[in-house]
Structure formats: structure tokens, C-alpha cells
Amino acid sequence: MAFTYRFKDIYDNTIYVGYTGQQMSERMNQHFTKGHLPKECYQSVAKIEYIKWKTKSDAQLMEIYFINKYKPKFNKQNKRNDALTI
């Protein structure tokens, strides 16, 4: 089991996309206590959406797809430029 998740701002813009093989509650706790993203990102989060997948590979693939689709401002540039081939 794995998850792909999106942080959205008050205007419903996707500002960050990630994936995890952990429970969502554990991953969100890590984000909002020890977070690796800028404070501005966490302060801008109005909603968190997530999708549960059967495999980590599915979650990783969808993370790249969503990053390329939404171009979130808090994702690293190298992930935005990953090629998505199916």
C-alpha cells in the first residue's frame, strides 16, 4: 500500500505533490513537525488530497504525473522535468 498526495492552497492550486509508503497520518506528522519544505508551503496548505495505491511503484508514477501536470511551486525542479513514459 502506498499513497500519492497533494497539498492545495485556498485557491485550490496544487502547491506540492508527494508519495509515501507509510501511513498517511505518519507522513503528514513528519511534514508538519519536521518538514523539509519551506514554512511558506506549510502555511499555505488549505487542503490535502490523497489517493491510495496497491504498490509503491504506482504511487511514484502518479507523483511524477501530477508534478508534471500541476507544476507545483514547492516541488524540486528535477522532479518537474522527469519524463513520464507508460
Across the chain, where does the E strand assignment appear? 2-8, 14-20, 47-53
Spatial contact of 20 and 5, defined as CB atoms under 8 Å apart? yes
User: Strand pairing of 14-20 and 2-8?
Assistant: antiparallel
Q: What is the pLDDT along the chain (86 residues), one digit of tens a residue?
A: 999 999 999 999 999 999 999 999 999 999 999 999 999 999 999 999 999 999 999 999 999 999 999 999 999 865 555 555 44
Residue 45: other Cβ atoms inside 10 A: 19
Spatial distance between the Cα atoms of 65 and 82, rounded to a whole number of angstroms = 9
What confidence score (pLDDT) does residue 82 get? 53
What confidence score (pLDDT) does residue 76 get? 84
0.85 exceeded by pTM: yes
What confidence score (pLDDT) does residue 52 get? 97
